[in-house]
């Protein structure tokens, strides 16, 4: 069975501590995976307003912002290439931050987005920022969110929850790649909130399928089962008990009217996890494309600079 490769990693950079900390993790992962890094900086068009006239600043001022940030981003990419020997490229876009990050991931066929968890105006360093949350809702590739309170260079213990939800093991292919590259210990947590027959059967089916894949790949894992009134709280508790440094979840997305809504399990995990969380969308929820992401029609040209 082929392993899902991580060949292109997209890293949103706004030069904040949170984004630079996420970049640190991305560099370490890119070296292990022999992947290309794409650094993307979004010039947010919303704050660039003239307070007196309440109109968008003119094209010349926007271009000045583009030139300045492009220069800074290219210097950063040059440094990474020269010091880490990683193929690192840069991209500058203007627009709404989360929309342009999602579009950039589509345009450059990114296999993974790695970004800081904390928002600029976050109440707590462990609460997820609005841009990160919106990227998670709309991204068609997996998203790895990195808390800003410490550096995460590799992953030694990976917690892999299984709920009685069909398709919960779709995340295994990417998880296997990361576990192998890090030589990590895998901890599987089976979780039940209800004792009804259907939940038991679904969890048993999902667990059996995962065990079959693990056997085929000759991978070992510790497996535990828990009942809980709040499976998200139980996952967070056990993640701490096992001293894990990576949590892999299926971020179920439901389409409601014109919005994409992350289910309550994933939302609670993403808000309160103190370690990196790899969120992988189930195939049934991957329904977003560039045309379906709402945004203004007018965009400044995208600049993609190759750093050799």
Burial of 220 (0-12, 13-18, 19+ CB in 10 A): exposed
237 in a structural domain: yes
Length of the chain: 308
- Give yes or no: residues 71 and 147 share one domain: yes
Q: Are residues 203 and 82 in the same domain?
A: no
Mean pLDDT, to the nearest integer, of 119-132?
60
Least confident interval from 59-68, 171-180, 196-205: 59-68
Least confident range of 123-132, 185-194, 218-227, 251-260: 251-260
Q: Answer whether residue 274 shows pLDDT above 60.
A: yes
Same domain, 141 and 22: yes
162 and 147 part of one domain: no
Lowest mean pLDDT, pick from 57-71, 135-149, 275-289: 275-289
**Per-residue model confidence as pLDDT tens digits over 35-64:** 999 999 998 876 544 444 444 445 557 777
Same-domain pairing of 108 and 58: yes
User: Per-residue pLDDT averaged across 249-271, rounded?
Assistant: 69
> What is the arithmetic mean of pLDDT over 79-95?
95
User: Does residue 198 have a pLDDT over 50?
Assistant: yes
The more confident residue out of 170 and 29 is 29
Residue 116 has pLDDT above 60, yes or no: yes
Flag whether pLDDT at 79 surpasses 70.
yes
Whether residue 94 contacts residue 47, with contact meaning beta carbons closer than 8 Å, is answered with: no
**Percent residues over pLDDT 70 in the chain:** 78
3-state secondary structure the chain: CCCCCCCEEEEECCCCHHHHHHHHHHHHHHHHHCCEEEEEEEEECCCCEECCCCEECCHHHHHHHHHHHHHHHHHHHHHHHHHHCCCEEEEEEEECHHHHHHHHHHHCCCCEEEEECECCCCCCCCCECHHHHHHHHHCCCCEEEECCCCCCCCCCEEEEEECCCCCHHHHHHHHHHHHHHHCCEEEEEEEECCCCHHHHHHHHHHHHHHHHHHHHCCCCCEEEEEECCCHHHHHHHHHHHCCCCEEEEECCEEEECCEEEECHHHHHHHHHCCCCEEEECCHHHCCCCHHHCCCCCCCCCCEEEEEC
State the helix-helix crossing angle for 231-241 and 264-272, rounded to 10 degrees: 30
Q: Are 8 and 36 in contact (CB under 8 A)?
A: yes
Q: How many structural domains compose the chain?
A: 2
Buried b (16+ CB within 10 A) or exposed e, 188-216: bbbbbbeeeeebeebbeebbeebeeebee
Residue 1 lies in a domain: no
Over 70: is that where the pLDDT of 22 sits? yes
Q: What is the CATH number of the domain that holds 140?
A: 3.40.50.620
Give a yes or no: residue 304 inside a domain: no
Is residue 306 domain-resident? no
Whole-number average pLDDT of the chain: 82
Q: Is the pLDDT of residue 152 over 60?
A: yes
Mean pLDDT (whole number) for 188-194: 91
Q: Taking 90 as the threshold, does the pLDDT of residue 197 lie above it?
A: no
Domain with 241 in it: 157-285
- Cβ-in-10-Å burial (0-12, 13-18, 19+) of 304 comes to middle
Q: Are 181 and 120 within one domain?
A: no
Q: Taking 80 as the threshold, does the pLDDT of residue 104 lie above it? A: yes
Residue 262 has pLDDT above 90, yes or no: no
> Across residues 60-79, what is the average pLDDT?
86
pLDDT at 265 > cutoff 90: no
């Amino acid at each position: 069975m082929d392993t899902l490769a991580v060949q292109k990693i997209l890293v949103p950079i706004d030069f904040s501590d949170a984004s630079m900390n996420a970049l640190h993790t991305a560099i370490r992962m890119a070296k292990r995976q022999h992947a290309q890094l794409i650094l993307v900086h979004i010039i947010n068009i919303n704050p660039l307003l003239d307070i007196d006239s309440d109109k968008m600043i003119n094209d010349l001022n926007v271009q000045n912002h583009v030139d300045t940030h492009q220069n800074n981003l290219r210097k950063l990419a040059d440094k990474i290439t020269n010091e880490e020997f990683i193929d690192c490229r840069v991209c500058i876009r203007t627009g709404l931050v989360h929309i342009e990050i999602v579009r950039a991931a589509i345009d450059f066929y990114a296999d993974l987005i790695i970004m800081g968890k904390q928002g600029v105006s976050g109440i707590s360093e462990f609460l997820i920022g609005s841009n990160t949350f919106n990227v998670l809702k709309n991204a068609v590739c997996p998203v790895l969110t990195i808390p800003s309170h410490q550096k995460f260079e590799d992953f030694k213990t990976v917690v892999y929850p299984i709920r009685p939800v069909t398709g919960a093991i779709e995340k295994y292919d990417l998880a296997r790649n990361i576990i192998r590259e890090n030589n990590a210990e895998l901890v599987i947590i089976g979780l039940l909130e209800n004792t009804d027959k259907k939940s038991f059967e679904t969890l048993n089916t999902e667990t059996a399928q995962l065990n079959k894949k693990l056997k085929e790949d000759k991978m070992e894992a510790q497996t535990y089962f828990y009942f809980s009134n709040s499976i998200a709280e139980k996952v967070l508790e056990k993640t701490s008990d096992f001293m894990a440094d990576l949590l892999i979840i299926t971020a179920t997305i439901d389409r409601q009217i014109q919005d994409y809504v992350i289910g309550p399990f994933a939302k609670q995990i993403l808000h309160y996890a103190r370690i990196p969380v790899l969120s992988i969308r189930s195939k049934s929820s991957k329904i977003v494309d560039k045309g379906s992401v709402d945004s203004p029609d007018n965009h400044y040209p995208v600049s993609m600079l190759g750093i050799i």
